[in-house]
Homo-oligomer: A and B are copies of this chain.
């Protein structure tokens, strides 16, 4: 005889349709067009940064770089919802969030240009640096969240990862921890449908990535990741729950990677341009601009001014980045331990006599 032991429902949230029209009632923050315009600006700024970084890489002045083209609503929605005292534990495509949290463009370029000082950012001092080993940052996020909980703080951690990362055991372990201790932690799966050449459907048979949460008994939500209002709304809800002791949430933001995986990749090897074109119709920047324009909250003049400001900002960042004097070789030794052990001192003396 069978009975029902447990039931789950994964909800999907959208506030702004692909055609730029509103759906359903909007959350409070979205009632203010200025707030939406601010998010719009942040998305455009992110895109401008990405474009500059790719250009620098193409001309040999930056290392491999992962653009967030098409995914700006995820980065900005997260950043808009977080508070300064929260902690971001990013993957490697979170420049949108990092910029909003006060990491400077120069710092980001330094990091991607192969200079550790880029991770010593002046802004959000507790935010973790970029994490390249996919999914390995998730347990750190759990540890940071546990620290907050042990100290009884009303702060929260946001851990961002890609769709591919959800296959990693580290992520499952961290989700489990988050559930067991009701951690103030929001996992965001920035589902851009691809893990390099591996499409979402070949990554897992799960119908949604949000349901990875079910394995750890934490809350789950899927959002339209090209709808910055929905992303921010979902994040605010999850962060409020986290800060008030209500436990962790996993949010799957469904978006699309319009760019190559990184500058080292050529996506035409494994996906059709036709597929990509379709997704251009859903991308987040034009979507919000359509709404703002229709609402009379955004003008051509504002657009032009924004683009000019972004051009100027990225140009200045490039200049500052390229003008940054190199690190001394000694730095390689000096940060390995708090104090240099004797054997390393010997190596250092040999290396930098």
Contact = CB atoms under 8 A, between A and B. Distances in A.
A115 interface: no
A4 interface: yes
Interface in A129-146: none
A200 to B, nearest CB: 11
Q: Among the interface residues A15, A204, A208, which one has the most CB atoms of the partner chain B within 10 A?
A: A204
A214 B2 CA distance: 19
Interface string A154-193: 0000000000000111111100100110100000000000
B10 A4 contact: yes
Interface stretch (A90-98, A216-224, A320-328, A336-344): A216-224
Given A205-B217, A217-B204, A222 B5 contact: yes
A14 B214 CA distance: 24
Interface residues of A, number: 46
B222 A204 contact: no
A149 interface: no
Contacts of A207: 5-6, 217
B205 A216 contact: yes
Contact of A168 (B2, B25, B173, B247): B173
Closest 3 CB pairs of A and B: A169-B169, A1-B24, A179-B205
